Structure 1
């Protein structure tokens, strides 16, 4: 299994966010943002954990390299409070199972919170890698849905759900 740990998003992670803002990495999520949008996103990520409504993390390799991001935030979905998860991995590190390990680590954080029953992820139906992460991390596919992301733009996504009260699945 891939070796990666998650670390809370830090002020020093702006360069990572700029790297993740590439056309390739953002092709399923509305395309690259302006530098002003990236700076605003970074500020939100740095201060997010202090709000109690979610947290962003970096994917840290054993040598200290930053390979991507993963996070969770609360939302209402179909009249129910849930957690939404999202992640991105730099092209150099894709295909190594890092996102799956990182998503499982976030699921452990959410299970420990014991405040919402379900976690969801909404990858584009055209994003086989992120859909595979959902499957490998133990989510169940509920079906396709129209999902607004980025704000103001509808995308066709798969609705994946994980019951946080159920025992963790194996690898």
Structure 2
């Protein structure tokens, strides 16, 4: 199996995973301006930067990632983003990353998007294992992982330097195609 060169639309429970579009730029800038988003998943802060971000995520041709915007199915409003990245088809594994805009938080958006992206990775890309990490100080992401079927495997100590400049411990969660 291989990663398609252009984004594929995926429907999940209460979410639509779709390609980012230039018309999403203002809503993305609003989301990236949120302090919570900036700390855990910083993004571009200007128009040119967000357009480059959109173009990068809409181009799957390298075969190393599948990236979607998370949108509301009924009005297409941007709720966040989810990616399956660092795809290694030979090993059958990849990493999952996501963020949710402030107006989408607390509604199960992230766990639904991660479940949908995981199903795509297992069913369409033939992957065997997915893993995700998050800062230990971000307990909501532990809930997302658990609700999306990812089991806690351990903690990576001082694993990643976040936007606050400090290295944070990160819980390691993983899900197998057979789970």
TM class, shorter-chain normalised?
A: 0.7 to 0.9
- For residues 66-110 of structure 1, what are the alpha-carbon distances to aligned partners after superposition, in whole Å with 9 as ceiling and x for unaligned? 11111111257xxx6631111111111211111111111101110
Match of 2:83 among 68, 71, 79: 71
How many residues in Structure 1 have an aligned counterpart in Structure 2?
161
CA contact (8 A) 2:57 2:67 kept: yes
Structure 1 regions of 5+ residues with no counterpart?
none
Q: Normalising by the residue count of structure 2, what TM-score does the alignment of the two structures yield?
A: 0.76
- Show the 5 A alignment for 1:1-171: 3-22=14-33, 23-29=35-41, 31=42, 33-35=44-46, 37-47=49-59, 49-61=60-72, 62-74=74-86, 82-145=93-156, 146-149=158-161, 154-164=167-177, 166-167=178-179
- Considering only aligned residues, what root-mean-square deviation do their CA atoms show, in Å? 2.7
Structure 2 residues without counterparts, runs of 5 or longer: 1-11
Post-superposition offset of 1:32: 5.7
Kindly indicate whether the alpha-carbon contact (under 8 Å) linking 1:4 and 1:101 is maintained by their aligned counterparts in 2: yes
Residues 82 and 155 (structure 1), Cα distance of their counterparts in 2 relative to 1, 3 Å cut: farther
